[in-house]
Amino acid sequence: MCGQREDAEEVAQETMLKTFESFHQLRDPERVRPWVFRIAKNVCLTKRRKSIFAPSPAQEISLDELMPSRDSRDGRMKLEIADWSNLPEDHVLRAEMKTALEAAIRELPEIYRSVILLRDAQELSTAEAAQILDVTEDVVKTRLHRARLAVRKHLDERLRRVKKAVTL
């Protein structure tokens, strides 16, 4: 969410402090994880508001941008997808994809990055992510889908480049 490693470390420390200080306000001990994530999100947003490097307000990703490309000759839709079938067995390729995944997640606009990290990387529920981010569950679902499609597109492009380089 922070985008910068040093910022993330400061946010983590500040989050721990705030967690200890406000622990008595935790109403539902069963839900401590989303509660801590919510504190972390607020600390992160406060820090970013103060930063001169704060990114511009939320950038939206349109679904159309993530649709498969159109054929320039007849304007019809076409799907161009790299062959992902040997990914599980190919260790070199998996290492390459891990690097690509980090870049893909880092390049996502913040509103999408936070959702994919909470839902997929941290495996929180839609309801928990919605509570942490102060948005509706429908918004979480929409952003998650676009984030995943953007990551898939990024990985697919990298996979095609790698495979092309290997076959040259």
Partner 1 sequence: MNAQVPSGRCKEVFAALSEYLDMDLPPESCEELESHLEGCPPCIEFVKSLRKSIELCREYTPTELPKPLSDEARHQLQEAYQRMLLARERPE
Q: Site residues (CB under 8 A) for partner 1? A: 5, 8-9, 12-13, 16-17, 20-21, 23-24, 63, 67-68, 71, 76-85, 87, 97-98, 101-102, 105, 116, 120-121, 123, 126, 141, 144-145, 148-149, 151-152, 155-156, 160
Count of other CB atoms within 10 angstroms of residue 57: 8
Nearest CB to partner 1, comparing residues 56 and 141: 141
Distance CA 110, CA 88 (A): 29
Q: How far is the CB of 44 from partner 1 (least distance, A)?
A: 15
Q: How far is the CB of 25 from partner 1 (least distance, A)?
A: 10
Q: Minimum CB separation from partner 1 for residue 92, in Å?
A: 15
Q: Measured from the CB atom, is 31 or 78 closer to partner 1?
A: 78
Please answer whether residues 48 and 54 qualify as being in contact, where contact means their C-beta atoms are separated by less than 8 angstroms: yes
Report the C-alpha gap between 84 and 163 in whole angstroms: 10
Residue 56 beta carbon to partner 1: minimum distance, rounded to whole angstroms: 25
Comparison of 9 and 134: residue with beta carbon closer to partner 1? 9
Question: What tokens appear for 20 in the block?
Answer: 């200890």
CA–chain centroid gap for 48, Å, is 17
| Identity of the residue, 71 or 134, whose beta carbon is nearer to partner 1 in the bound complex | 71
Minimum CB separation of residue 17 from partner 1 in Å reads 5
CA distance 168 to 165: 5
Cα–Cα nearest to 40, from 142, 124, 140: 124
Q: How far apart are the C-alpha atoms of 138 and 141, rounded to whole Å? A: 5
Cβ closer to partner 1: 56 or 123? Answer: 123
Q: Name the one residue in this structure whose structure tokens are 């076409």.
A: 78
